[in-house]
Amino acid sequence: MIRDITIGQYYQTDSVIHRLDPRVKLAGTIIYIVTLFLVGNIWGYLLATLGLAAVIKLSKVPLGYILRGMKAIGFLLGITVVFNMFLTPGTPIFSFWIFTLTWEGIRTALFMGWRLILLIISASLMTLTTTPNQLTDGMEKALKPLNKLGVPVHEIAMMMSISLRFIPILLEETDKIMKAQIARGADFESGNIIEKAKAMVPLLVPLFISAFRRANDLAMAMESRCYRGGEGRTKMKPLIYKKADKLAYLYLLGFAVITVFVGRL
């Protein structure tokens, strides 16, 4: 069902990329995406692809696994490419009805598709190599300065990681309650909108109750361990840049500068 989606999932393994500080990966992804938008020729794209391929290799995530996650957006990609091919003005190759295939169109479409693929792979590579907890930790630390402006950064990060943790649990719970009510003759499929909405009550009530129960249990567990928010709270695994992280920043910047330079020649 909903569990089949692989985009945004974490791939468990041990690699240089997995061990990097999440802030490096966050910054890296952003820098890479910006780079992609600055590149304008084939050499730039090739370089960007090469760079990404190197990172994939280092991350030890199987290429097949990454590409399978792309299936979901294949349709979107197809539409983008086709529209660009036919709707870009330029030298026509052939035309029918209101569509005209142009050389410029093919060029734009190829670059556009290429860019989209790289963009999505790079973003999913970040989530594949970083656990949701690390990701929120990284964001918390990176956004720390906003604390001075009165933004409760820690609390927001904590809420984010708890919500992320709860998504699969709630999905599973929904599945279970749905089945239990179907076993009692409930029908979630037939009927008009009003009947369908009514049929949701036996699903939603237990689901909310269970969510509240879990939230309550969690709050109790946190309180009994004296959790009281971000003020003065230390971390078991504080994020500290190591040598590898600093090196990674250097490589990243070097790569971005060269790629943009080549890409805009």
Partner 1 sequence: MSIKLERINYIYGQGTEMVVHALKDIHIEIKDGEFVGLIGHTGSGKSTLVQHLNGLIKPTEGHIYFDGQDIYAEGYDMKKHRSNVGLVFQYPEHQLFEVDVLSDVCFGPKNLGLKKDEAEAQAKEALALVGMGEQYYKRSPFDLSGGQKRRVAIAGVLAMKPKMLILDEPTAGLDPQGRKEILELISGLRERAGITIVLVSHSMEDVAEYVDRVIVMNKGAVAYDGAPKEVFSHLEELEEMGLAAPEVSYIVHKLREKGLEVETDAITMEEAAKDILAALEARRKGNL
Using CB under 8 A, list all residues that contact partner 1: 3-4, 6, 65, 68, 176-177, 179-187, 201-202, 205-206, 209-210
Minimal distance in Å, beta carbon 198 to partner 1?
12
Minimal distance in Å, beta carbon 221 to partner 1?
18
For residues 94 and 65, give the distance between their C-alpha atoms in angstroms, rounded to a whole number.
Answer: 38
Backbone angles phi, psi at 101, to 5 degrees: -85, 125
Minimal distance in Å, beta carbon 140 to partner 1?
30
Identity of the residue, 179 or 264, whose beta carbon is nearer to partner 1 in the bound complex: 179
Minimal distance in Å, beta carbon 68 to partner 1?
7
Identity of the residue, 38 or 180, whose beta carbon is nearer to partner 1 in the bound complex: 180
The DSSP bridge partners found for residue 148 are none
For residues 22 and 248, give the distance between their C-alpha atoms in angstroms, rounded to a whole number.
Answer: 12
Q: Are 239 and 140 in contact (CB under 8 A)?
A: no
Minimal distance in Å, beta carbon 173 to partner 1?
8
Give the orientation angle of helix 132-142 with respect to helix 22-38, to 10 degrees: 80
Minimal distance in Å, beta carbon 133 to partner 1?
21
Identity of the residue, 8 or 202, whose beta carbon is nearer to partner 1 in the bound complex: 202
Identity of the residue, 183 or 265, whose beta carbon is nearer to partner 1 in the bound complex: 183
Identity of the residue, 39 or 66, whose beta carbon is nearer to partner 1 in the bound complex: 66
For residues 128 and 13, give the distance between their C-alpha atoms in angstroms, rounded to a whole number.
Answer: 10
For residues 95 and 25, give the distance between their C-alpha atoms in angstroms, rounded to a whole number.
Answer: 45
First and final C-alpha spacing in the chain: 47
Identity of the residue, 4 or 14, whose beta carbon is nearer to partner 1 in the bound complex: 4
Q: Is 173 helix (H, G, I), strand (E, B) or coil?
A: helix
Identity of the residue, 55 or 177, whose beta carbon is nearer to partner 1 in the bound complex: 177
Tokens coding 224? 């009994």
Minimal distance in Å, beta carbon 78 to partner 1?
20
Q: Three-state SS string across 120-166, please?
A: HHHHHHHHHHCCHHHHHHHHHHHCHHHHHHCCCHHHHHHHHHHHHHH
The residues, ordered by sequence, that sit 6+ positions from 262 with a Cβ below 8 Å of its Cβ are 41, 43, 44, 47
